[in-house]
Every structure is written in structure tokens, then in C-alpha cells.
Structure 1
């Protein structure tokens, strides 16, 4: 592919869930750029296929798999399809998630169960069925958590809870599988310019002010690009991070240090 300068993943196979858009799509493209065979899994097959086609058109190897991350049989099918197509599995990026901007009183029991199914149980199931294949390759798992799971956030209880659980799960699995050579880490971004964030900004009373507040909630003064998060995912998936496991890597532009540092002590923002 054009622009390749390092081939850290040449001959390796990577699955990216939620790979039809946002951080998932960008990560899939970067993995392919560095030589990986990529399986893009998404409940929206058209979006997954679009990502796969972008890779194929650029000379890479990719497949798209329609998958609901809450469906155990579909997850097994995703793993089996990927291994049948490419022969092995080296990395899985558990990226699929939704958000829910509500406090605990506003959240129904049904909403609580749904967001845990999508954001947390999916990480458990995808990891469970990927590990037998990763054991063969001494591969790795990268889970998408959030700064929310580290420090919490006003009016976002269920989402923060799911991401805190992902961080704890990452650490526990890392302990269980380290001696088998399987590294397991997670990434904790603050605000990222994704369709999920854009959808949230559209619901704000003053979208432009909300966008400015979101940017200024980071000490660096702007919202991260998906590429900036994807590069961290690739790092953790590569041999460059060979001695790193069980870590929740915060990639937040200084947001976790910034409360009270600017003109507004409590930023009206969301960490996705």
C-alpha cells in the first residue's frame, strides 16, 4: 500500500470490532497500511464492507463480517470466518461500543442492561473466543475503554461503569494469560472526533459552544483525531510494546489533569 514505512504487522491477522466507522475504521486502515490482513466486524455490514473495500482498493487484504457483539454465535462465526480466510489470528481490537448521557436516576434497568451487553459483555465474549487462537500465535488483545472509566463523568453513569469494568477485565485477563504470551491492554481516550461524538454534539443546546468546551477540556486545546488513538492501538498491538500488558493507557490530551485549569472548572463534555 502507498505510504508504508514500517510493516510491523506483515503477515499477521487482526480483527477490529466496530470497524465500520470512527476509531475502528481508522485502526483497521492503519493495520492494513502496516501489512496486516484485517477482518472488519460491525453490525452495519455496509459500513464494514466500505472499510474493507478501502483497504482492498489500496492493495491490502480485508474481509467484512456482519456481527452483533451481543450475539455469542455471531462472535464465534466472526472468529471462525477470520481464521478460515487468513489462517490465524494475532490481534483482536474490541472497539464496538455505545454511549448514554444519563445519570443513575434517569437510566432505566433495560438501558443499563443494554449498554453493559454492548460495551462490556462483548469484550468478554470476543476475548473468550479469540484466546484459543491467540494462544497459538502468542497474540494480543486491545480493548477500547475510556477516560470515563478512570475518573468518571457527570451525567454518564452507565457508560462510565461499562468502561471501568473493561479496565478491570483487561487487568484480570492480563494476569491470567501473561505466561502464555498473550498481552492484553486497553486504551482510555478522552474526546475523539468520531461520529459518536458528533451525534452527541448535535443534541447539545448550543452545539458550537459544546464543541468549544469539548476541545478546551483537554489541556492541549483540541479534540483528538481517530488517527491519534489508532496509533496507540497499533503500538500496543505491536512488538514495540512487547513488555507491556495489563495497562490502561490514558490518551487524553491532558484532560485528566485539567479540571479547574481553565476558565470553566467543570467542562460540559463527553469522553468517548
Structure 2
């Protein structure tokens, strides 16, 4: 299926690895130009090289997204390079285990900056170009906003904010025909997830215990499965879809995990 993304310039924050990289790869495969905005410049360059080796086009902008000025200059760099922005994928962040009992005011606020504030900043600075292009915003969110997890107040609050902003922006941008949607991720196999599972006792047993609670196939979601949904939601083929929070999670959040 042609998603009609040819030559669309789409920013992907945190696009150097994990889910962001998966989205960048699929967008490039569909003929779009993913622009990776990430603080890990060496990994961003590797991803751009991988895309170009496969015949695609990509670009990267190094940025510390916890710094508002860095968010602004990153967007300006994309406009300077391409003259437009057709889409924005807010993806960067991490489950940083800032809890209620052990966390502090400082660590909680840092978590919000790491996981939520830059979603607003990137959308704010990109909005003039997105309005010109009648483009799309896609926010990547997490199950923690719905299910809770324990010991991760900052991340859970950030994801609740991501979901709320998705619907708020969808309303605000209706007159400009800019669509805004979100994808909620539950258990997705990424390098970060793999590193985490190695820190627990009996990692293989722990992984099996997690997988058995994922209803569809009793397996982890892949980054490509997230990316395929992302590409569709960013594409003109989803032209009447906005304000939607879509769960690509094998039924983890909404189906009975005992089935």
C-alpha cells in the first residue's frame, strides 16, 4: 500500500534507537525523509547511514531535548535544511523510576522535562510549519498512564500528560487541518528493554512471566509493529483520524490478561 508519504519531512525525536529508530526506518521505506532529533549523535549518524545504504533519505540534528533552546534550534535547523515540516513524532523519553516515596521534587520535575515538556516544546516550535503543510503530530505514549506500574510517578504523569495533550492539540489544530494522534506502547522489545531485563534476577524467567500476560500471541510487541501504525497515522490515508489514542500492545491494556 502506498501511504503517500513520498518526500514528506517528518521529525522523529529519539529516532536513533528503539521505537524511534523503528519509526524512522519505516518512514524512510515509505519514501519519507525522517529527521532524527536526538542527543546520541553517533547513533543518529548510524541510523541515517543505514537508511541511506538502503536507498532512502534521512537527516539528523543533535539536541538535548530537556533544554528549551535546544528544541527551538533543532526545529529551526530542520526548516533551514528542508524549508518545511510535514510531520512530528514525539517519542523521546525513558521510564526513569522516579517514585512517590523515594523521589524528590527535583527528580520529579526532571522526569517531566525528560518525558513531557519537550513534547510541548517541539510541537510549539514546529506548529507554524505543520499548519502550513496541514501536517500531522504523533505522540508516543505508554501503558503506565492507564495501568500504573509503581515507583514511576514522573513517567506515569508524563504519559498521562501526553495523552491529554494529544486530544487538546487535536482540538486546537482542527481549524488548521493538522491531525494529532497518539500510540500507546505496553511491552515492546527494544535495546533499552533488553538492558533492563538483564538487571533483574533470572531475566529469562522474568521475560516469560511478562510475555504470558500479553494476550495476543504471548509475545512482546516489535518496534516495526509500532512503526507501521505510526506511518499510517502520519499518512494522508488516515486523513479523517484525529484525537485518537491507539493501543498497539497485543491487547495488554484492555483485554483480560487471564485469558
TM-score, length of structure 2 as denominator length:
0.95
Distance 1:52 1:228, change over 3 A: same
1:158-177 equivalences in 2 (<5 Å): 158-177=154-173
- Give me the whole-angstrom Cα distance separating, in 1, the residues matched to 2:56 and 2:3: 12
- Give me the whole-angstrom Cα distance separating, in 2, the residues matched to 1:177 and 1:14: 18
- RMSD of equivalent CA atoms: 1.5
1:252 alignment partner in structure 2? 249
1:239 alignment partner in structure 2? 236
SS in 2 for 1:256: coil
- Give me the whole-angstrom Cα distance separating, in 2, the residues matched to 1:255 and 1:116: 25
Q: Which runs of 4+ in 1 moved over 4 A?
A: none
SS in 1 for 2:253: helix
Distance 1:64 1:205, change over 3 A: same
Structure 2 alignment gaps of length 5 or more: none
- Give me the whole-angstrom Cα distance separating, in 2, the residues matched to 1:259 and 1:156: 23
Distance 1:260 1:170, change over 3 A: closer
- Range 119-128 or range 154-163, more displaced: 154-163
Is structure 2 residue 222 aligned with structure 1 residue 225? Answer: yes
Do 1:37 and 1:86's aligned partners in 2 also have CA atoms closer than 8 Å?
no
- Give me the whole-angstrom Cα distance separating, in 2, the residues matched to 1:27 and 1:249: 16
Do 1:92 and 1:140's aligned partners in 2 also have CA atoms closer than 8 Å?
yes
Residue 52 of structure 2 is aligned with which of 47, 56, 72? 56
Structure 1 alignment gaps of length 5 or more: 263-272
Equivalences, count: 258
Question: Deviation at 1:259?
Answer: 5.1
Is structure 2 residue 174 aligned with structure 1 residue 178? Answer: yes
